[in-house]
Amino acid sequence: MNTSTSGAQLIDGVALSQKLRTDVTARAQALKARGITPGLAVILVGDNPASQVYVRNKVKGCQDCGFHSVLEKYDASMTESELLARIEALNHDPAIHGILVQLPVPKHINAAKVIEAISPAKDVDGFHVASAGALMTGMPGFWPCTPYGCMKMLESIGYDLRGKHAVVIGRSNIVGKPMALMLLEKNATVTLCHSATHNLKAMTLQADVIVAAVGKRNVLTADMVKPGAVVLDVGMNRNDEGKLCGDVDFEGVRQVASAITPVPGGVGPMTITMLLVNTLEAAERAAP
Binding site for ligand NAP (CB under 6 A): 146, 169-172, 174-176, 193-197, 200, 213-216, 219, 234-237, 267-268, 271
Active site residue 58: yes
Nearest approach in angstroms of CB 233 to ligand NAP is 8
Please state, in angstroms and rounded to a whole number, the distance separating the CA atoms of residues 189 and 283: 34
- Specify the residue, 44 or 90, whose C-beta has the smaller distance to ligand NAP: 44
Say whether 190 sits in a helix, a strand or coil. strand
Nearest approach in angstroms of CB 29 to ligand NAP is 27
Nearest approach in angstroms of CB 266 to ligand NAP is 8
Contact (CB, 8 A) for 233 and 212:
yes
Nearest approach in angstroms of CB 256 to ligand NAP is 19
Specify which residues 210 forms β-bridges with.
167, 231
Selected catalytic residue, list 12, 123, 125, 249: 125
Q: How far is CA 115 from the centre of its chain?
A: 16
Nearest approach in angstroms of CB 168 to ligand NAP is 9
Please state, in angstroms and rounded to a whole number, the distance separating the CA atoms of residues 151 and 156: 9
Selected catalytic residue, list 58, 122, 152, 164: 58
258, with CB counted inside 10 A (0-12, 13-18, 19+), is: middle
- Specify the residue, 37 or 172, whose C-beta has the smaller distance to ligand NAP: 172
The per-type count for the chain, helices as H runs and strands as E runs, is: 10, 12
- Specify the residue, 125 or 208, whose C-beta has the smaller distance to ligand NAP: 125
* DSSP 8-state secondary structure symbol assigned to residue 175: T
Contact (CB, 8 A) for 16 and 270:
yes
- Specify the residue, 37 or 197, whose C-beta has the smaller distance to ligand NAP: 197
Angle at 247 between CA 266 and CA 199, to 5 degrees: 135
Selected catalytic residue, list 102, 123, 208, 233: 102
Active site residue 125: yes
Please state, in angstroms and rounded to a whole number, the distance separating the CA atoms of residues 204 and 222: 10
- Specify the residue, 46 or 147, whose C-beta has the smaller distance to ligand NAP: 147
- Specify the residue, 91 or 237, whose C-beta has the smaller distance to ligand NAP: 237
**Amino acid in the structure at residue 218:** N
Contact (CB, 8 A) for 282 and 122:
yes
Nearest approach in angstroms of CB 135 to ligand NAP is 16
Instruction: Show which residues are catalytic.
Output: 58, 102, 125
